[in-house]
Amino acid sequence: MALTLAEEFLLLAYDESSGRPLAGGTEINCGLAGSLLLELTLHGRVDLAHGRVAAIDRTPVGNPEVDTALDRIGDELKPRKADWWVRKLQGKELQRGLLDGLAQRGVLSEEQHRVLGLFPVQRFPERDPGPELAVRTRLADTLRGVQQADDRTAALLCLVHACRMDRKVFPDIDRGLVKRRMKEISDGAWAGKAVRSVIDSINAAVIAAVVAASTAGGAASG
């Protein structure tokens, strides 16, 4: 089953049994927005022009969330920086659309629960563990050096790292190995120079958005 980077990221961000998120809302939302930009980059639909994201091919990719992002970028009156798009593309509608899509394809189940018997909440435990297992295996094999990093795998690994999800996604892999391999992969020649430039900018924007949101949250709570 072919999954987008956003779908792969979302599967990694949710517990397969309980259907609960494993990361905070900031990390997941920023990661999903970044994954849309990464997907469009790898499909050759967007590029960086003078440090700003611009649509260079508006042919639909074939995924509703990805194509909606492409339309928004193409319709914007002037090119915007990657961090602007990371803020603008995220939201409950994006995450819910991805969850609903995975549920419709039989990857997730949708369950209704009540907190304290009063407040309704929805959970999305896995119905078919195969797709997430395939993603985790691919990423783990790349970290362990069993296979070379291709552009999609490397982009997803860098995104997981940018969102501070390494420990939760790879709890059984030695921390030193993860840190060392992430640096090697980040510095490696797994994509062309132009594509790498865009991907690096997107991941930097995700990191900045996560840090900014975390700092704002900490200041508010203080």
Q: Which two tokens stand for residue 189?
A: 């020649």
Entry pTM: 0.89
Domain ranges of the chain: 5-213
Is the CB of residue 31 less than 8 Å from the CB of residue 206?
Answer: yes
pLDDT tens per residue across span 97-131: 999 999 999 999 888 766 666 677 778 889 999 99
CATH classification code of 5-213? 1.10.3630.10
pLDDT tens per residue across span 5-24: 999 999 999 888 888 888 88
Percent of the chain clearing pLDDT 70 (strictly above): 93
Element spanning 40, H or E? helix 25-42
Angle formed at CA 196 by CA 14 and CA 78, multiple of 5 degrees? 90
Is the CB of residue 36 less than 8 Å from the CB of residue 6?
Answer: yes
Cα–Cα dist 185/167, whole Å: 17
